[in-house]
Amino acid sequence: MRGRHAGESWRKEAADVSLGAGQDQLSEEGSLFQLANQEFEDSESENETFDPQEENPATDEKLKSPQKTASGQKMGLKELVVPEDSAVTETHPQEEEKPTRSCPSPTEVADAVKTVQHFMEEFSMDLSTVTQAFLKNNGEVESTSYFLQTSQRLDGYPIWSRQDDLDLQKADENIRSKLIAKFGAENVVKRVAFRKS
């Protein structure tokens, strides 16, 4: 309890430090830290009460920059560290770059669910068994269907095991060569792509 009160006391002292608007403040010991701490605490309190429907860019700027200049304008850590007339520019990601797609579309999800349900009914198997069959067959529908019917892969190669996947992650060329001999080069490439997806 004592440590918590000491931490709260320190935070209050740091938050209560009043900073003016000049660059000369940065020479004072700890003033940069104190301003950063204040902005951090303000952003923490914003996150606790954030409502996306009430988001307003004008009020957001006021909340993020608690310090005022002599002319009444708000000034935050960024402005103190990098003045507006500075040659430093912000870097923004290029809008032309397409973000890596991390999740399937709703249509793809619906199709996958239908396929899994179909296999569960057709082969009288539970969700876990059908899902494992997909994982062992790189998510390929035709190969998974054949595997569920025969307990063998369509192409005649063995089923991928957990150990095979662990070996695949290693950068050792000898291990990679053994996997290629066991599964074929095309299957190793497919497995790498499947595991990345």
Per-residue pLDDT of the chain (197 residues; tens, 9 = 90+): 544 444 444 444 444 444 444 444 444 444 455 555 455 555 444 444 444 444 444 444 444 444 444 444 444 444 444 455 545 444 444 544 555 556 888 998 999 999 999 999 999 999 999 999 999 999 999 999 999 999 999 899 999 999 999 999 998 999 999 999 999 999 999 999 998 88
pLDDT at position 44, please?
43
Q: Supply the pLDDT for residue 103.
A: 84
What integer pLDDT is reported at residue 133 of this predicted model? Answer: 93
Classify residue 77 as left (phi > 0), alpha (psi -120 to 50) or beta. Answer: alpha
Which pLDDT score, from 0 to 100, does residue 104 have? 83
Give me the helices (H) in the chain, please. Answer: 2-16, 31-48, 57-64, 77-81, 106-123, 127-136, 141-150, 162-169, 173-183, 185-196
User: Which sequence spans correspond to the domains of the chain?
Assistant: 2-81, 104-159, 160-197
* CA angle in degrees (0–180, nearest 5) for 22-27-30: 105
**The overall pTM is greater than 0.85:** no
Whether the Cβ atoms of residue 122 and residue 177 lie closer than 8 Å to each other: no
